[in-house]
Amino acid sequence: DVKVTQSSRYLVKRTGEKVFLECVQDMDHENMFWYRQDPGLGLRLIYFSYDVKMKEKGDIPEGYSVSREKKERFSLILESASTNQTSMYLCASTTLSTGVHEQYFGPGTRLTVT
């Protein structure tokens, strides 16, 4: 089974702090994604990566950056956390080999910025 893990389930940070969210997948997937999930808005794509050191902006990249130095690890960085970044953050990965590209998700990190 594919396993996607996220470094923290719950995180509380202060406004202005730099925040790192880590995601690791163990199935050699090429593509990895970061979403945020908010009530009534579903999942919104922040950034994705299709290869090591490669990244593309999603629908809401403002205030975020990402890093992918190794294939299995994809990090989301909040440069200066703000209260409107309080949310559930979900990481996902997928392989191109099946042709269907269904995504596999981690358990999520619930971030609160005070």
The residues that touch another protein, with contacts defined as CB under 8 A, are 4, 31, 33, 40-43, 45, 48, 50, 56, 58, 90, 92, 94, 96, 100-108
| Shorter beta-carbon distance to another protein: residue 14 or 35 | 35
Exposed e or buried b per residue across 61-95, where buried means at least 16 C-beta atoms within 10 angstroms of its C-beta: eeebebbbeeebebbbebeebeeebbbebbbbbbb
Encoded tokens for 69: 């130095």
DSSP state of 17: -
| Shorter beta-carbon distance to another protein: residue 61 or 105 | 105
| Shorter beta-carbon distance to another protein: residue 16 or 107 | 107
**Tokens 């593509």 sit on residue:** 31
CB of 84 to another protein, least distance (A): 19
| Shorter beta-carbon distance to another protein: residue 18 or 57 | 57
Of the candidates 89, 86, 92, 81, the residue with the CA atom closest to the CA atom of residue 109: 89
CB of 80 to another protein, least distance (A): 27
CB of 41 to another protein, least distance (A): 6
